[in-house]
């Protein structure tokens, strides 16, 4: 069947329908390996280079692929240079284009991708469209790379699947953003969400785990951005022989909150009275201390051992199975809300965006 368009050429109806139905994806290129160019000094970002590379991929012009708009950030960043202000820039960019696109792909360096993926769910309230972060270990310009598959699948996911979440796609896994950690510095399987099942596995088929994916927010409130202000927040890893003095220094003002990376189920050197006193004194000054485990998976339980109970008695709160990345992001978010300290403590221990499991 054909449709006559006045004096213009007749077009097949199917073509018109397909054209109208092509989904639209907004791609924000923040930097990272995926779009870098080989230079005499090693890989480096170069403005316009990724667009050139993408224009040479025939698959991206296929009618089965979504239309896309590529927006390149200035400057393109190695994600090791990112700050919470860059998270805000990404959140704002998504909000500015929210109504015009079916989904969003954020191209990002792998080094701090898990932090950005942990922060965006808190910053983007009322999200009903997919936001997929991805990147690669080898740039798109190389013949053998993981960039092409990560990019194409992230675009397909963002365009065609109604996932109302911030996710990270890498390797062959779709993961909840606020559960992710970078687990491999070199491998193509660089990310995992050790305390939460993948939201999807990509092989011959794209198999989504709809039971794990968050439901569409029922309310009709529009997308709202929660900016982050510059609160002083830290993370500190315990180790055998840690000096109480060092802990006391870390906990000094202007620190407002600390993620304490503790042993096993959240234990610390409770025999060291000066260490416990440093925690207690900071807690009494209103510093929020969140206990997360150093282990890759599992949950904190401060009631299991006396070495954990002493920390709780000093005012340390449990981070349960929060990743350190998610605990930091959540603290940035909550401390930007001007809430009483006790409310922040309570919300840190409450699941807000699927970041924490509490039975
Ligand atoms: N240093 C790079 C970055 O995080 C590494 C990467 O993209 O994989 O930006």
Q: Domain segments of the chain: what residues?
A: 13-225, 233-348
Nearest CA to ligand 1 atom 7: 109
User: How far, in Å, from the CA of 119 to the mean position of ligand 1?
Assistant: 18
CATH match for 233-348 among 1.10.8.870, 3.10.180.10, 3.40.50.40, 1.10.1060.10: 3.40.50.40
Question: Of the given ranges (229-233, 235-239, 289-293, 336-340), which has the lowest mean pLDDT?
Answer: 229-233
Residues 33 and 149 sit within 8 Å (Cβ to Cβ): no
User: How far, in Å, from the CA of 203 to the mean position of ligand 1?
Assistant: 25
Distance CA 307, CA 234 (A): 22
Query: Of all atoms in ligand 1, which is nearest to the CA of residue 77?
Result: 9
Q: Give the tens place of pLDDT for each residue, 126-161.
A: 999 999 999 999 999 999 999 999 999 999 999 999
Opening angle at CA 213, ends 209 and 218, nearest 5:
140
Instruction: Average the pLDDT over 112-118 and give the result.
Output: 98
Out of 80, 116, 139, 189, mutate this one to test ligand 1's pocket (max ligand atoms within 8 Å of CB): namely 80
Nearest to 75, CA basis, from 42, 105, 35: 35
Residues 54 and 72 sit within 8 Å (Cβ to Cβ): no
User: How far, in Å, from the CA of 227 to the mean position of ligand 1?
Assistant: 25
Domain 13-225 fold: Rossmann fold (3.40.50)
Q: What is the pTM of this model?
A: 0.93
Q: Residues enclosing ligand 1, CB less than 6 A?
A: 31-33, 78-80, 109-111, 135, 137
Out of 135, 142, 151, 325, mutate this one to test ligand 1's pocket (max ligand atoms within 8 Å of CB): namely 135
Instruction: Average the pLDDT over 182-204 and give the result.
Output: 97
pLDDT bucket at 21, cuts 50 / 70 / 90:
confident
272 CB-near residues (< 8 Å, 6+ apart): 244
Residues 256 and 344 sit within 8 Å (Cβ to Cβ): no
pLDDT bucket at 3, cuts 50 / 70 / 90:
very low
Residue with tokens 């000093």: 314
Residue in 19, 30, 33, 116 annotated catalytic: 33
**Residue 291's CB: how many other CB atoms inside 10 A?**
28
Out of 29, 111, 116, mutate this one to test ligand 1's pocket (max ligand atoms within 8 Å of CB): namely 111
Nearest CA to ligand 1 atom 3: 109
Query: Of all atoms in ligand 1, which is nearest to the CA of residue 112?
Result: 4
33 is catalytic: yes
Query: In the sheet where 131-134 sits, what is the strand order?
Result: 67-77, 24-31, 103-107, 131-134, 166-170, 173-176, 200-202, 206-208
pLDDT bucket at 359, cuts 50 / 70 / 90:
low
244 CB-near residues (< 8 Å, 6+ apart): 272, 274, 275, 277, 278
User: How far, in Å, from the CA of 31 to the mean position of ligand 1?
Assistant: 8
Query: Of all atoms in ligand 1, which is nearest to the CA of residue 80?
Result: 4
Amino acid 217: pLDDT: 82
Here the tokens at position 169 are 């796609």
Does residue 85 carry a pLDDT above 50? yes
């Amino acid at each position: 069947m054909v449709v006559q368009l006045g004096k213009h050429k007749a077009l097949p109806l199917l073509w018109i329908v397909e054209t109208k139905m092509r989904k639209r994806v907004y791609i924000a290129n923040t930097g990272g390996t995926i779009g870098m160019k080989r230079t005499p000094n090693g890989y480096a970002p170069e403005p316009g280079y990724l667009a050139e590379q993408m224009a040479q991929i025939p698959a991206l012009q296929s009618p089965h692929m979504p239309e896309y708009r590529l927006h390149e950030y200035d400057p393109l960043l190695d994600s090791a240079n990112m700050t919470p202000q860059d998270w805000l820039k990404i959140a704002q960019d998504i909000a500015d284009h929210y109504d015009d696109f079916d989904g969003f792909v954020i191209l990002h360096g792998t080094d701090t991708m898990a932090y950005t993926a942990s922060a965006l769910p808190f910053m983007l309230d009322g999200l009903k469209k997919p936001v997929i972060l991805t990147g690669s270990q080898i740039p798109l310009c190389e013949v053998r790379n993981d960039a092409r598959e990560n990019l194409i699948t992230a675009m397909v996911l963002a365009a065609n699947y109604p996932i109302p979440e911030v996710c990270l796609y890498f390797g062959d896994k779709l993961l909840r953003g606020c559960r992710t950690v970078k687990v491999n510095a070199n491998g193509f399987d660089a990310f995992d969400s050790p305390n939460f099942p993948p939201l999807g596995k990509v092989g011959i088929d794209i198999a989504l785990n709809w039971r794990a994916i968050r439901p569409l927010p029922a309310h009709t409130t529009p997308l709202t951005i929660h900016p982050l202000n510059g609160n002083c927040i830290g993370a500190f890893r315990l180790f055998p022989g840690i000096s109480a003095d060092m802990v006391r220094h870390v906990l000094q003002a202007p620190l407002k909150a600390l993620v304490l990376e503790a042993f096993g189920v959240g234990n610390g050197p409770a025999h060291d009275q000066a260490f416990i006193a440093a925690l207690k004194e900071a807690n009494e000054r209103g510093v929020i201390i969140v206990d997360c485990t150093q282990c890759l998976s599992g949950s904190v339980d401060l009631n299991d051992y006396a070495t954990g109970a002493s920390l709780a008695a000093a005012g340390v709160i449990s981070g349960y199975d929060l990743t350190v990345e998610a605990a930091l992001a959540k603290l940035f978010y909550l401390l930007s809300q001007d809430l009483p300290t006790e409310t922040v403590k309570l919300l840190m221990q409450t699941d807000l965006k699927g970041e924490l499991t509490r039975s």
